[in-house]
Amino acid sequence: MSAILAIAEALDLEVVAEGIETEEQRRRLRELNCHRGQGFLLARPTPLADLSLA
């Protein structure tokens, strides 16, 4: 992961980490200066019935 983040930094790109499920994963990604993240730890999927068309 650190190599990917280093390449992204050299290319002035932001990285989105997917599948973050534990606080340990989140902590490690922050230590590595990962820009963005998503996963069950941060938000669960919304059931289709709960979505509205706006």
User: What's the rounded Cα separation, in Å, for the pair 7 and 4?
Assistant: 5
> Annotated catalytic residue: which of 14, 18, 23, 31?
18
Task: Look up residue 18 and give its amino acid.
Answer: E
Could you confirm whether 18 is annotated as catalytic? yes
Long-range contacts, 21-30 (Cβ 8 Å, 24+): 28/1, 29/1
The residues that are catalytic are: 18
